[in-house]
Amino acid sequence: MLRSMTGFGRAQCEGEWGSLAVEISSVNHRFQEVSVRLPREVAHAEHALQQRVRQAFRRGKAQLRVELRLALTAKSALVNEEVFEVYVRKINALRTSLDLPGEFRWESLLALPGVVGSAVDSQDTSDEAIQEALRSTLDDALAQWNAMRRTEGEHLEEDVRGHLRLFEERIDLIERRWPEMRDNAFRSMVERVTLLAVECGPLPDQGRLLQEMALLSDRWDIAEEISRSRSHLEKFRQILDGEEGSGKKLDFLLQEMNREINTIASKVADAELRWVAVEAKSDLERLREQIQNAE
């Protein structure tokens, strides 16, 4: 079963702390790549989220985006009274020891580090409620994403199997016609060699002549290429029929299948068989284009 590398999923969640939205999208890529965009409040969870996404797929380029909108109560500013009091005591001590004149604007202390923080900061942004919401929302988004990739993969697999049947029909045709073409080519070679020997000198030993021609014929025999092509076809279907078809394995098999059909095209001299080989190469190219979309 194939799964497409392209997909999209989105999920949302709300709570007393605010609302959360998680989006994940992916496109084709030779390897596995994950990028994460997070708001500052949950930036510390980047590594964990990235690992969770990596576990959900094998190859492709995925992007995870998280939107967090905090409730007004979570955004409100809070004054840390203990820190403020420390600043006041120190400033009063300095004013007394240095005998500084004038009045001091105490509100200016609000800009000092640690005096003012948000409600979320005071509760620690790793609050379990937000973290649990982030995990569950990510799981929902991943479920939608994978469902879309499975659906796309079903359509992809349907096209792949269609092109695979066409390729197999080409191999069947080559295998059926090759014995006759081979015998005709061999007889033609015997006639040409015999005619050449007669014109150029005494006829060589028939046994030795046939032996040499048999050796030559092995160089353009395509029985092994046909056999290997069928073996690759069987393996291709085994991977497709598996629970999770591997795009990388199928891509490798297509390279091997293309190599065999190229060898067949280079060995046969018959114009009709060469054209069948060209059509088979075209089928493989269409297969390759589809498999490049498969995870």
Q: Where are the domains of the chain?
A: 7-73+127-151, 81-114, 154-291
C-alpha span between 36 and 22 (Å, rounded): 11
Instruction: Take residue 187 and report the two structure tokens written for it.
Output: 């007889």
CATH architecture of 7-73+127-151: 2-Layer Sandwich (3.30)
Instruction: Take residue 223 and report the two structure tokens written for it.
Output: 């029985």
Q: What is the predicted pLDDT for the residue at 218?
A: 63
Which residues partner with 60 through β-bridges?
32
C-alpha span between 168 and 187 (Å, rounded): 29
DSSP SS3 for 106: helix
Which residues partner with 14 through β-bridges?
19
Pick from 53, 63, 55: which is nearest to 29 by CA?
63
Q: Is the pTM of this model over 0.85?
A: no
Instruction: Take residue 186 and report the two structure tokens written for it.
Output: 């061999």
From the CB of residue 23, how many other CB atoms can be counted at a distance below 10 Å?
A: 18
Instruction: Take residue 71 and report the two structure tokens written for it.
Output: 């409730």
Q: What is the predicted pLDDT for the residue at 180?
A: 81
Q: What is the predicted pLDDT for the residue at 122?
A: 43
Q: What is the predicted pLDDT for the residue at 22?
A: 97
From the CB of residue 103, how many other CB atoms can be counted at a distance below 10 Å?
A: 5
User: Do residues 75 and 119 touch, judged by C-beta distance below 8 A?
Assistant: yes
Determine the angle formed by the axes of helices 128-200 and 223-241, rounding to 10 degrees.
170
C-alpha span between 74 and 102 (Å, rounded): 38
Which helix H or strand E contains 29, and what residues bound it? none
Dihedral sign from CA coordinates of 93, 99, 103, 104: negative
C-alpha span between 223 and 282 (Å, rounded): 21
> Residue-wise pLDDT tens for the chain (295 aa)?
889 999 999 999 998 888 999 999 999 998 899 999 999 888 889 999 999 999 999 899 999 999 998 876 555 556 677 777 777 778 778 777 777 777 777 667 666 777 666 554 444 444 788 889 999 999 999 999 999 999 999 999 999 999 999 999 999 999 998 888 777 776 776 676 677 666 666 655 666 666 666 666 666 788 889 999 999 999 999 998 886 668 889 999 999 999 999 999 988 878 888 899 999 999 999 999 999 999 8
C-alpha span between 203 and 200 (Å, rounded): 9
C-alpha span between 7 and 62 (Å, rounded): 9
Residues constituting the chain: 295
From the CB of residue 164, how many other CB atoms can be counted at a distance below 10 Å?
A: 20
Angle, alpha carbons 77-78-82 (nearest 5°): 150
φ, ψ of residue 269 in degrees (nearest 5): -100, -15
